[in-house]
Structure 1
Amino acid sequence: MSVVDKSVFDSGGRTTLALAQDNAHLCVGSKIGIVKILNTERVQDEPRVLEVVKDLTSVCFGSKDDSKLLVTSVTGDAYLYDARDEGSTGKLLTRSVLPLRDCQIIHSDKYAVFGGDDLQLTLIDLDGGDRNTLKTEEQVSSLSYSKQSNILAVSFINGKVQFFSVSSAVPNKVHELKDYIPKHSYVDSGDDALLTDVLGSDKEDTDVEADTLEDDKIKDPTFCDNNRICTKVAWHPNGLFFALPTKEGGVSIFDIKDYKLQKTLSPTAKGKLFCDLQFDTKNGNYMAAIDLDGQLTVWDWKRGEVKLARKIKQDITHLVWKIQESSGQFDLILGTWNGSIITIKSVLPVIDSKVEEPLTSAGGEKNLFVEDDGNSDDEAKGSNLVDGEAEDDNGEEIDDENLFTQEDDINEGKRKYHFDDEDDFIDDDDGAGYVSEKKYRKFEDTSVNTFHNYNSSRSRYAPKPFKYKPFSAGATPFASGDRRYLTMNEIGYVSTVKNGDQNSVTVSFFDVGRFREYHFEDLFGYDVCFLNENGTLLAQSRMGQINYRPHNSLHSNWTKVIPLLDGERITTIAATPKMVYIGTSFGYFRIFNSFGVPVALEKMTPIVALTAQDYKVFTVHFSPLHGLSYSLFEVHTDTSKYFQRECPLPITMPQAYAGRVEPDFLSSNPLGIKSLFFSSYGDPCIFGIDDVLLVLSKWRSGAQSRWIPVLDSNFELWKMSGGKDHTDVHVWPLSLNYDTLNCILVKGKRIWPEFPLPLPSEMEVQIPVLVKSQLLKEYNKEKKERAEAGLDSDEDEDKDEETEVTIPQNLAAEEEFLRSKILSGLLQDTIVNDGELFGNENRIIASLIGMHDKSLLRLFAIACSDQNPERALSIAQELKQDKALTAAVKVSERAEMLSLVQKINDIREARFNQQMDNM
């Protein structure tokens, strides 16, 4: 272990450090407005020098893009610089009248968050420039962000630490810790330093000569203990633990699961506050901290062992861990107050595997985040995780039969398969080209090809099978990132983040007043998920392992492994407060109760998607020979009843959108089903690649059931945008509540939501009966007439692009008539079979009947004005209420259509007689 002291700034002063994610570039900032980017792997290279804002308070690299460099200052300015461009002048992101103390880049470098003395947190979209602010009760001391758990920790000068979930667009406070970190306030002038000179310093004497002390004396006027004290939260690399510097001079380590204290570390020299502390950046096995007197301590924190204790003579500002790529050793780099950096080389070896001993909590419980049965351990042995899915030891896909290997030559060795990156999921039988071409293994008997003289390329290669993929409602692909949503519905969403050989899972909720977000470590690479009001069900599709986690910590988790045949995988799962349902690619349908006890087993056509509500189950099947079908049935512990059994499912397949859907989405979801769910009144719904919401009507009777399109979301977006075809706004469905689709409006090129998740939106059901060209013609005609009449101002013309397309009265009446008829039919079917669910169904039916007759009367009036008695009579026959027929008579009389009046009166009389006969 050697120590290297390197002068970076001859002018001296406080140096601020930040190490890029590539582990090679170190940012060293000076308060004089200079930042130097050092290449730590090639020390002979000249550093890149950037001129930045003066009086720096913090610097921060992007987590994915090392060219993004954030800088904050005492003057309240925050800039974004290009760290690879020495001529970068920086982009001013925000300006505060008071100092900004810290900054963080979050959400894969899409957003930046700032905090300081102005009693607010500021979030800025680095691409779009949108800004959100969140008021705070006290001045911000420091910020710390964990991308694994998506939690922002905010330290305040009053000693409080608040934790905010930034999974959604608006940060949500999830926890607060008090009386752990020291209270302090920053000093931005030399007054405190002058006071220190008068009263003297309690810094221990050293054996350094007096002239050396005089040379090394800190000349920075802001040098004082208040400006050196560390209050920043240090995050473990997996995001499941964090450390706080305590006011007693120790280190307290907590778990993120329930924010409970797990361990307290004490340095060899007690009583001094810390100026920085950090977990190592590899596996988080070590914790390094340095106090105000320069006492550096490194612990193996899980065992509580001190691995290194060393006194540093210089006054330290920050420390960072760095991995030596060549030797596999850790270095510690320290920033100082005299313009130099200190590198302690080969402090400890990098431990690739995690510490064998599980962490023991204060209560003595082990395995805090993984509760599993004994048999699950055996199932997991010998398996690795590749992109979140299981891979066997030789790197080949877990498929004992190896039916469809893709080896160009049997002597080339076996090829590794990355399951989340497969794009050979479906046979491009129509030649549309929406899947990328790949080499396939030729038939070994080449004489067959020679004999038949095959010319087509397809005959020379093995056939490509359909690859069954794990499906969860609302799930998104990893694409090029390291995180994705495992599932999403009206209750909340479950997200996972890749973290080396394990994942971190976060369960978030839209109703933060009812539920509390929680996190856990995923050692198995769960890739299927279902979220309900009581708990979260997860599954590893290839291992056959399922894990149920109640939201309420009073109930215990349970883990189970189901048997899978060679080549079989779990494709979809669902859970209700009553039952747990598991479907596989071979069509095995397994039912467990809410505690994991097996209840029933059935064999079906291969299952690709399912959802459940209480005892009702809606499954989607796919077979390359028979296509898409669905089943709808009810399962109790002792009885079951089918309403629909493997009937054709009329949804649009991805082939119809060849070239218009991203391959990343189709590789993880080959059938293009974005979500399926039961409506609030228990009707099955499905939302496919065409962005049309289908609802199953009369599903209790097989002969009468039919799928009804109740909403074309693309048409609604077109209408709301003033008739413009936008390709950067998409709808991601969550649920159907009576006549309203709850959804996420996604902005950007990708059709699925990314991080952070926008707040849910609502879209009213509109039956797709309108024609765009006809509406646009009427809309433009109306705008022209208003302009000619002088009714539109210049300001109104500027807002044309934001004005919703208005629907002509006659077309709106047709849509309202059909919508009221469909919705009342769905609701009446529910009332007849299940009774009133919420107590207001009959009132809703009455309002729907009223809307039904009003819309018909508008159509009736138009028909009468056009002197079209046949059309008018056909409309009158659809009227349900007698008072509506009376109104139709008056309209007919006003139009002087006496024969129509007589026919309507005959209808009234016939209905009256029918009512009398039924009494």
Structure 2
Amino acid sequence: MAAQQKLRGRQAHTPGPTFLSYTPNGRKLITVGLDNPIRVFSSGSDAEPVNIDDCMDSNTAIVATNTFFVSGSEDGTVYKYSLETNSQDTLLTRCSAVRDLALSPDGNWVAVASDDLVVKVVNTQDMNRVLYLRDQPKAAKHVAFDHSGTYLAVSCTDGRIYIYSLSSEEPELVKTVDGMIKSLEPDSEASSKVLWHPDGRAFATPTATRDIQVMSRSDWQRQRAFKTGHTGDISAAAWSPNGAFLATTAADQKLCLWDTKTQALIKTYEDVRATILALVWHPTENILSYTTSDGELYIHTNFVPTEHTKLLENALQSAPFIHDPLDETSGNAQRKLVNGAKNTLVMREAREGTPDSVDDILGLDAMSDIEGDDFVVDDDGAGYADVVNGLGKRTNGHLDSISGTSKRRAYGSHSFQPQIHESFQPGSTPWQGNRRYLCLNLTGFVWTVSQETHHTVTVEFYDREAHRDFHFTDPFLYDKACLNDNGTLFSSQPSGKSPAMIYYRPHETWTTRTDWRTQLPVGESVNAVALSESYVVVTTSANYVRVFTLFGVPFRVYRQKSSPTVTCAAWRDYVLTIGNGPVGGDGTCRLLYTIENVKRDEVCQSEDVVALTPGAQLQSVFFSDNGDPHIYDSRGVLLTLLHWRTPSQARWVPLLDTRLLSRLASGTKQESYWPVAVAQNKFHCIILKGADKNPYFPRSILSEFEFQIPVSGPPSGKGEGDDGEVEREQSDQQRIEEVFVRSSVMHALQSDTISVTRATPSQRHALAALEGNVNKSLLQLLALECLAGEEHGMKALEIVGLLRDDGSGKILGMAEKVADRYHMDVLREKIRELAERRLVGLDVDDELE
């Protein structure tokens, strides 16, 4: 056996039960124990921790957010502490001896397990808001929120698990699980805590036989089990952040690492000198930290062995099911393989943007030839079976390395299999627990909750004076939706003998009949839907684009040229469709888009390329409030389509690269942005903290960012004189250059709109203002070049040639004044000659020559 890492424990507290928690961003590690101080360690630092001394003794539980933490003690007090001031903040509640705490994902609620028969769920912002869970007959030992914050699992000392739904004002007991956990005393070192898997669809618990049993949340059926082989009761366990690994420990003082997918033991660490009572994974690093009954803290770096760390870097992994209970539920199912004979998409995000090699692709095809189109038998435990991430897509974890060999690759024929972009609905999110957003935009949001046999759908508006929220029971299991000021559009997938359905509900009508439904032909499913002020658009698995009027009249049906279809968007009479096109050199299909005016039956752009960032996936597509198409990719770049109404003249122009935002310049903030809309010349989005990929409940606040075209990199600071002064000058110039390019793009968009519509006075005023911004930025650049001296005269004259003059000569006159101010006599004469040439109608190119 290879030599194991020798760990040195830190004496965090006096000998006795000790517990810990990471902040969600991983920057702080907080420990509590029998003695008075609470200790706050900084991740990655060997410095002494911060001690918070004004605390209770005998703390038994700790949970944390990025800004505060909550601890509970044996005297029954539950206190909230500030991480900004490292001081005690608020007494949240009192009860009998606290045994465990759980914090909701949004940090707004803390559940308290104590020796009382009632479990309290206290609001962390208002201690007077308390929910009471009363159905368990004995005291609770553990509590655990699921990752959506909808369910709370209570592990009772009577040996049962009580699952409560917190989606309504009064908590509701939805399931009692018997015969899974062991009956334990409240102060026992053994654990019966529920471990919700990160994908939200299952949980696991230690059993009386010292195994870890997985149970599905949707049908409450037992799934895979980890046969741990521990010789003592399990005292702690934890999933890795992406669910790929499980760590377990027990009274036998062994720490074990397991592969979630295969339930295989990867490694056992036997150098633990006391019982581990709590263990937590670092949110982003390959680190497992744990505390023992001796008051010691261990920070185990490189916990996952090097040969397995690739799994730790993958996207969210699936819980270990014997059978997936959602496979037969439309809209909830993990997506089947769709490359090779089924066109599988291997998500680039799971590969961190690295394209598969040709050998990898050939290996995938060879295995599919042997086992069938979409089924691989892992009969030898080598890991050939499907690796499915949290988005329901196959990762490349099953593939060999470039230099590796595969026993299965020796069989069957090798053939090239392209990677297609899977279809998606703009504005929707995947399932998180039992709920998801079907649509989220500036009008409002549509969300659905799975109730196993049916769904419940809620539509909420930002402007409640214009529209009233509504809620209904959904027996059709709608999985896509669109929302605007006119109405709400839904679609469901075929299920059994029931075909796919389209349902439109207008907000207001002047007739009795308000809504309509229509069914698609048998065997046809919905890939994406779009809703404009004039039409309903549906793209289907048969590569049809189906267009209906707002009141259900079939208007057009045609087959999309690029296939399989990916998504669609609509605005007024315009429809934008996107599909998979030719295969590029990296084996990935290029996306092609088409824009047409369905009312006039005119094609504006036909099968042109969607210009994505290299290695990126298309994340959203939408029209702005001005009616211009925009896309947002997985690398955080927002682009708009310039001159899209003129055939063969369209081009994708970046408006914002979120990776270059000033708020991220320090490198200490980890966040991403979920696109919502472009309106009022701003990018509206939801800020996602840490490793989050999608918004979760409760709904996050919308944020907005000004456009900032990536024109140049940061100032170099090189040059003669004071470096700080040079850097400031470079920064000013880059800022003005960006304003010039951005104003030019916005002017072109506005000019295109005015040229094809009956322009309003406000639109013409906006166009004039944009032209003024272009000239203003050019005059500022001219001033900078004049300030630099005569050697910059050629560039200064070039800038003058870019000025937009209305024929009056006013703008060139202003340029002449700038040259005169900086005593650029030669430049002033050149500008005067330029103005004279323009008066006689010479081209700009002739003028500059």
Shorter-chain TM-score: which interval?
Answer: 0.5 to 0.7
| 1:699-729 deviation digits (Å, cap 9, x = unpaired) | 11113222111211211x2x234x3235611
Aligned counterpart, 2:758: 835
Matched, 1:720 2:720: no
| 1:655-714 deviation digits (Å, cap 9, x = unpaired) | x26xxxxxxxxxxxxxx2221111121111111122111111111111322211121121
Q: Which residues of 2 match residues 752-771 of structure 1 at below 5 A?
A: 752-771=694-713
Give, as a single letter, the amino acid of the residue that structure 1 aligns with 2:392: E
Which whole-Å CA distance do the structure 2 matches of 1:97 and 1:589 have between them? 56
Which whole-Å CA distance do the structure 2 matches of 1:465 and 1:279 have between them? 48
Aligned counterpart, 1:508: 460
Aligned counterpart, 1:610: 568
CA contact (8 A) 1:240 1:520 kept: no
Aligned counterpart, 2:430: 477
Cα pair distance change 1:456/1:409, threshold 3 Å: closer
Residue among 496, 504, 509 paired with 1:548: 504
How many residues are matched? 558
Question: How far is the alpha carbon of 1:815 from its aligned partner?
Answer: 1.3
Aligned counterpart, 2:487: 535
Which whole-Å CA distance do the structure 1 matches of 2:70 and 2:649 have between them? 62
Which whole-Å CA distance do the structure 2 matches of 1:850 and 1:396 have between them? 54
Aligned counterpart, 1:710: 655
CA contact (8 A) 2:420 2:580 kept: no
Cα pair distance change 1:841/1:404, threshold 3 Å: same
Give, as a single letter, the amino acid of the residue that structure 2 aligns with 1:570: V
Residue among 786, 793, 798 paired with 1:864: 786
Give, as a single letter, the amino acid of the residue that structure 1 aligns with 2:736: A
| 1:821-872 deviation digits (Å, cap 9, x = unpaired) | 11111111111211335x4222222222222122111221222232122111
Which whole-Å CA distance do the structure 2 matches of 1:807 and 1:898 have between them? 25
Question: How far is the alpha carbon of 1:398 from its aligned partner?
Answer: 12
Matched, 1:879 2:792: no
Residue among 650, 673, 688 paired with 2:618: 673
Which whole-Å CA distance do the structure 2 matches of 1:417 and 1:902 have between them? 71
CA contact (8 A) 1:466 1:624 kept: no
Which whole-Å CA distance do the structure 1 matches of 2:90 and 2:378 have between them? 62
Residue among 388, 392, 398 paired with 1:422: 392
CA contact (8 A) 2:93 2:122 kept: no
Is the partner of 1:772 in helix, strand or coil?
coil
| 1:76-114 deviation digits (Å, cap 9, x = unpaired) | 96569xxxxxxxxxx9985269999xx998854743179
Residue among 898, 903, 908 paired with 2:825: 898
| 1:588-620 deviation digits (Å, cap 9, x = unpaired) | 111122233322210012220111112211111
459-468 or 578-587, larger mean C-alpha shift: 459-468
Matched, 1:888 2:812: no
Give, as a single letter, the amino acid of the residue that structure 1 aligns with 2:739: E
| 1:382-437 deviation digits (Å, cap 9, x = unpaired) | x9853853699xx99999x9872314399x9xx99999753237xxxxxxxxx321
Is the partner of 1:650 in helix, strand or coil?
coil
Which whole-Å CA distance do the structure 1 matches of 2:513 and 2:166 have between them? 24
Question: How far is the alpha carbon of 1:743 from its aligned partner?
Answer: 1.5
Cα pair distance change 1:692/1:642, threshold 3 Å: same
| 1:477-531 deviation digits (Å, cap 9, x = unpaired) | 336x443333322222333334434444333333455444443334444332222
Which whole-Å CA distance do the structure 2 matches of 1:740 and 1:109 have between them? 27
| 1:246-305 deviation digits (Å, cap 9, x = unpaired) | xxxxxxxxxxxxxxxxxxxxxxxxxxxxxxxx86524xxxxxxxxxxxxxxxxxxxxxxx
Is the partner of 1:389 in helix, strand or coil?
coil
Matched, 1:690 2:635: yes
Which whole-Å CA distance do the structure 2 matches of 1:806 and 1:484 have between them? 49
Aligned counterpart, 1:746: 688
Cα pair distance change 1:682/1:97, threshold 3 Å: closer
Cα pair distance change 1:705/1:784, threshold 3 Å: closer
Which whole-Å CA distance do the structure 2 matches of 1:534 and 1:420 have between them? 34
Q: Which residues of 2 match residues 312-327 of structure 1 at below 5 A?
A: 322=176, 324=178
Alignment RMSD, CA only? 5.6
Which whole-Å CA distance do the structure 2 matches of 1:474 and 1:396 have between them? 22
Gaps of 5+ in 1: 1-51, 55-59, 63-67, 81-90, 116-120, 125-132, 146-166, 169-235, 244-277, 283-321, 327-351, 354-382, 426-434, 440-448, 658-671, 787-804
Give, as a single letter, the amino acid of the residue that structure 2 aligns with 1:707: W
CA contact (8 A) 2:718 2:726 kept: no
Which whole-Å CA distance do the structure 1 matches of 2:604 and 2:739 have between them? 30
Question: How far is the alpha carbon of 1:905 from its aligned partner?
Answer: 1.5
CA contact (8 A) 2:79 2:92 kept: no
Cα pair distance change 1:99/1:740, threshold 3 Å: same
Gaps of 5+ in 2: 1-54, 64-68, 113-120, 134-147, 150-162, 181-217, 220-323, 343-371, 584-588, 843-849
Question: How far is the alpha carbon of 1:462 from its aligned partner?
Answer: 7.8
The percentage of counterpart residues that share the same residue type is 27
Aligned counterpart, 2:109: 112
Aligned counterpart, 1:13: none
Matched, 1:640 2:601: yes
Which whole-Å CA distance do the structure 2 matches of 1:854 and 1:499 have between them? 59
Matched, 1:586 2:542: yes
Which whole-Å CA distance do the structure 1 matches of 2:812 and 2:454 have between them? 69
CA contact (8 A) 2:624 2:677 kept: yes
Aligned counterpart, 1:172: none
Is the partner of 1:906 in helix, strand or coil?
helix
TM-score by length of 2: 0.55
Question: How far is the alpha carbon of 1:644 from its aligned partner?
Answer: 0.7
CA contact (8 A) 2:624 2:678 kept: yes
Which whole-Å CA distance do the structure 2 matches of 1:832 and 1:635 have between them? 19
Higher relative contact order (CA 8 A, sep 6+): 1
Which whole-Å CA distance do the structure 2 matches of 1:497 and 1:468 have between them? 27
Matched, 1:492 2:487: no
Which whole-Å CA distance do the structure 2 matches of 1:889 and 1:538 have between them? 61
Residue among 742, 753, 768 paired with 1:819: 742
Is the partner of 2:618 in helix, strand or coil?
coil
Cα pair distance change 1:511/1:325, threshold 3 Å: farther
Cα pair distance change 1:863/1:241, threshold 3 Å: closer
| 1:757-816 deviation digits (Å, cap 9, x = unpaired) | 331111111121021363x779x9776999xxxxxxxxxxxxxxxxxx997222222111
Give, as a single letter, the amino acid of the residue that structure 2 aligns with 1:875: I
Cα pair distance change 1:77/1:773, threshold 3 Å: same
Is the partner of 2:644 in helix, strand or coil?
coil
Cα pair distance change 1:745/1:405, threshold 3 Å: closer
Give, as a single letter, the amino acid of the residue that structure 1 aligns with 2:801: Q
CA contact (8 A) 1:698 1:826 kept: yes
Q: Which residues of 2 match residues 178-577 of structure 1 at below 5 A?
A: 281-282=174-175, 322=176, 324=178, 385-386=326-327, 389=330, 404-408=373-377, 422-424=392-394, 435-437=396-398, 466=419, 469-478=422-431, 481-543=433-495, 544-551=500-507, 556-563=514-521, 565=523, 569-577=525-533
Question: How far is the alpha carbon of 1:141 from its aligned partner?
Answer: 7.4
| 1:31-79 deviation digits (Å, cap 9, x = unpaired) | xxxxxxxxxxxxxxxxxxxxx999xxxxx999xxxxx999899999656
CA contact (8 A) 1:104 1:112 kept: no
Residue among 837, 842, 847 paired with 1:910: 837
Question: How far is the alpha carbon of 1:876 from its aligned partner?
Answer: 1.0
Cα pair distance change 1:686/1:622, threshold 3 Å: same
CA contact (8 A) 1:391 1:397 kept: no
